[in-house]
């Protein structure tokens, strides 16, 4: 169904977005198998057994999201599954830091559907990953089978899952659920490593730096510390329970590398200070793709010729596309001529997902050679997303000679209007006044939702040079397409222009609870912005 943004787990008959039907070219970049896996998992977690009320929605959505990861591991391997978990953590951290934090099980909400957020889905997924690791493979599956058999055709609460675990394993995991499900947050670690040559000990200082409160206490967890040296590997299991720990590890010789939670089994934020040579070793010889790309940003920070060469070499030899993408982003963060030239050489990479990120990185450079480099990709590429990214990148250069090429791509048909939407974004990034009329037209019917959302976003970006963007977007609040009106409300909140208050206050009375909720948040942002300005004047 075209109206569906994703899927819905109707019992025995899942309904899904029409975007799941992809052609051969779109398949180079798009894989919606995880959507299918998610909705299929709901036949057990959500249909056969379902949450008693929405405060326990993670028992439906957290499970379905984690089973996406399990399917990914079965289908494509551990690196693909880890990359999915990496992105799940990122979107949860973003919501937690930018918007709000709450316990996963929470019965304080204005609208029931607001619990279907990144805490419920992605953090819930991570909690199940940690539970899986805590129980071990055999016990995990015994618990899952017993849980489904015991509660089939019934509604459940989190306490029922805890009880099932105790029945099967004999273990009391209430403390685990108390800190991860019924309280806020996650641990943030600051670590410092040093080597004592006299005692042949590696010393690791561990500090929990998250804001400690009654709702977000110190976290207690087991963690692995891995040392790799010449011909040896040593793994140590340690308990974290205090704000600060100092660990010493006797080792055969000075190690090449040290990793804290090397298999990424704990949901956490972390900074680690260790010698540059250790980051270099990890970038090239890390056991997992996650470990390798985690070293890319620290290596890029050095900014010297040797580190940039090391990054380029790591990208070219990296077998997993996701790790290569993160390494390219790290290389692109170094805004030097040398970094530009190395990115230029990476345009020949065959994997379209990596090539797309290379183009995205090149667009951040105001370099005279960028336009001629990117134009061939904007004209045609086997990958829709590479072509669209090149269009966006050309526009960002703000060189009027590329505008005719971008306009020519507006009529190019593609899966989900990927290419033409990229051209629209490029025109918007150009900040050329002649693009305004094109953007206005594309923000209205009968253009597709993909075009309209791109155009609305672009018009909000024109706000400083076209103040009438605010009343124009206000008119879209009453659009019959919910995707359009919710996006319009969100953008108005971000602009923090008090001229939008009247339209938004009307939207606060809309019969649609989603419209009301989005309008509430937008009004709150604008009001806070006005208050901040008034306080500055005082």
Question: What is the pLDDT at residue 1?
Answer: 63
Residue 8 has pLDDT above 80, yes or no: no
- Residue-wise pLDDT for 157-184, tens only, equals 999 999 999 999 999 999 999 999 999 9
Q: For residue 425, which of 470, 447, 394, 463 has the smallest C-alpha distance?
A: 394
Q: 3-state DSSP helix/strand/coil percent for the chain, to nearest 5?
A: 60, 10, 30
Question: What is the pLDDT at residue 434?
Answer: 87
Helix (H, G, I), strand (E, B) or coil at 247: strand
- CATH level 2 (architecture), domain 467-537: Alpha Horseshoe (1.25)
Question: What is the pLDDT at residue 225?
Answer: 98
pLDDT band, very low/low/confident/very high, at 17 (cuts 50, 70, 90): confident
Question: What is the pLDDT at residue 212?
Answer: 87
CA dihedral 162, 167, 172, 174 (to 10 degrees): 10
Question: What is the pLDDT at residue 3?
Answer: 65
Residue 2 has pLDDT above 70, yes or no: no
Tell me how crowded residue 369 is: count the other CB atoms within 10 A of its CB.
12
What are the E-state strand segments in 230-351?
Answer: 232-240, 244-250, 257-260, 269-273
Question: What is the pLDDT at residue 179?
Answer: 96
pLDDT band, very low/low/confident/very high, at 94 (cuts 50, 70, 90): very high
Question: What is the pLDDT at residue 439?
Answer: 94
- Residue-wise pLDDT for 423-475, tens only, equals 999 999 998 888 999 999 999 999 999 999 999 999 998 888 888 999 999 99
Question: What is the pLDDT at residue 21?
Answer: 86
Most confident of 29-33, 99-103, 156-160: 156-160
- Residue-wise pLDDT for 322-359, tens only, equals 999 999 999 999 999 999 999 999 999 999 999 999 99
Q: 16-30, 93-107, 298-312: which has the minimum mean pLDDT? A: 16-30
Question: What is the pLDDT at residue 538?
Answer: 63
Instruction: Return the axis-axis angle of helices 482-495 and 449-461, rounded to nearest 10°.
Output: 10
Give the CB-side neighbour count of residue 215, counting CA atoms within 13 A: 8
pLDDT band, very low/low/confident/very high, at 274 (cuts 50, 70, 90): very high
Question: What is the pLDDT at residue 299?
Answer: 98
Phi-psi region of 136 (alpha: psi -120 to 50; beta: other; left: phi over 0): left
Task: Please say whether the structural domain 188-274 has been given the CATH code 2.60.40.1840.
Answer: yes
pLDDT band, very low/low/confident/very high, at 481 (cuts 50, 70, 90): very high
Q: Where are the domains of the chain?
A: 7-181, 188-274, 467-537
Task: Please state the φ and ψ torsions of residue 131, each to the nearest 5 degrees.
Answer: -65, -45
pLDDT, mean of residues 194-221? 93
CATH T-level assignment (fold) for domain 7-181: Neutral Protease; domain 2 (1.10.390)
Mean pLDDT of the chain: 94
Q: For residue 496, which of 458, 453, 464 has the smallest C-alpha distance?
A: 464
Give the burial class of 207: count Cβ atoms within 10 A of its Cβ; 0-12 exposed, 13-18 middle, 19 or more buried: middle
Question: What is the pLDDT at residue 452?
Answer: 95
pLDDT band, very low/low/confident/very high, at 532 (cuts 50, 70, 90): confident
Containing 430, the helix (H) or strand (E) segment is helix 418-430
DSSP line for 149-204: HHHTTEEE-HHHHHHHHHHHH----HHHHHHHTSS----EEEEEEEEETTTTEEEE
């Amino acid at each position: 169904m075209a109206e569906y943004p994703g899927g819905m787990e109707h019992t025995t008959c899942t309904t899904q977005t029409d975007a799941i039907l992809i052609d051969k070219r779109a398949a180079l970049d798009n894989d919606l198998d995880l959507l299918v896996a998610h909705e299929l998992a709901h036949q057990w977690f959500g249909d056969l057994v379902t949450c008693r009320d929405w405060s326990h929605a993670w028992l439906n959505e957290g499970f379905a999201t984690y089973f996406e990861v399990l399917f990914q591991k079965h289908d494509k391997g551990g690196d693909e599954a880890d990359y999915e978990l990496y992105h799940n953590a990122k979107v949860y951290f973003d919501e937690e830091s930018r918007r709000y934090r709450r316990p996963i099980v929470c019965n304080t909400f204005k609208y029931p559907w607001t619990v279907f957020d990144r805490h419920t889905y992605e953090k819930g997924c991570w909690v199940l990953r940690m539970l899986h690791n805590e129980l071990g493979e055999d016990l995990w599956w015994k618990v899952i089978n017993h849980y489904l058999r015991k509660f089939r055709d019934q509604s459940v609460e989190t306490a029922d899952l805890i009880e099932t675990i105790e029945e099967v394993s004999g273990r009391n995991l209430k403390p685990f659920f108390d800190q991860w499900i019924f309280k806020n947050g996650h641990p943030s670690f600051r670590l410092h490593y040093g080597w004592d040559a006299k005692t042949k000990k590696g010393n690791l200082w561990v500090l929990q730096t998250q804001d400690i409160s009654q709702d977000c206490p110190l976290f207690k967890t087991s963690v692995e510390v891995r040392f790799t040296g010449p011909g040896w590997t040593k793994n140590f299991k340690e308990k974290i329970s205090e704000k600060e720990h100092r660990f010493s590890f006797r080792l055969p010789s000075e190690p090449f590398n040290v990793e804290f939670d090397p298999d990424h089994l704990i949901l956490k934020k972390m900074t680690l200070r260790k010698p540059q040579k250790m980051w270099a070793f990890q970038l090239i010889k890390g056991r997992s793709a996650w470990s390798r790309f985690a070293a890319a940003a620290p290596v890029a920070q050095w900014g010297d010729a040797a580190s940039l060469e090391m990054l380029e070499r790591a990208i070219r030899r990296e077998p997993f596309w996701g790790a290569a993408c993160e390494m390219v982003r790290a290389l692109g963060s170094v805004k030097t001529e040398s970094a530009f030239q190395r990115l230029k050489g990476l345009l020949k990479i065959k994997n379209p997902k990596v090539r797309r990120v290379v183009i995205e990185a090149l667009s951040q450079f105001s370099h005279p050679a960028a336009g001629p480099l990117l134009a061939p990709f904007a004209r045609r590429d086997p990958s829709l997303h590479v072509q669209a990214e090149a269009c966006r990148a050309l526009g960002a250069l703000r060189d009027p000679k590329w505008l005719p090429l971008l306009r020519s791509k507006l009529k190019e048909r593609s899966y989900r209007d990927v290419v033409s939407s990229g051209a629209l974004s490029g025109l918007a990034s150009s900040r050329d006044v002649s693009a305004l009329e094109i953007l206005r037209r594309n923000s209205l019917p009968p253009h597709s939702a993909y075009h309209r959302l791109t155009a609305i976003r672009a018009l909000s970006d024109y706000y400083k040079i076209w103040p009438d963007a605010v009343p124009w977007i206000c008119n879209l609040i009453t659009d019959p397409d919910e995707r359009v009106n919710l996006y319009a409300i969100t953008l108005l909140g971000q602009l923090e222009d008090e001229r939008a208050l009247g339209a938004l206050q009307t939207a606060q009375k809309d019969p649609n609870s989603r419209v009301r909720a989005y309008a509430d948040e937008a009004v709150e942002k604008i009001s806070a912005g006005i208050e901040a300005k008034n306080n500055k004047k005082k």
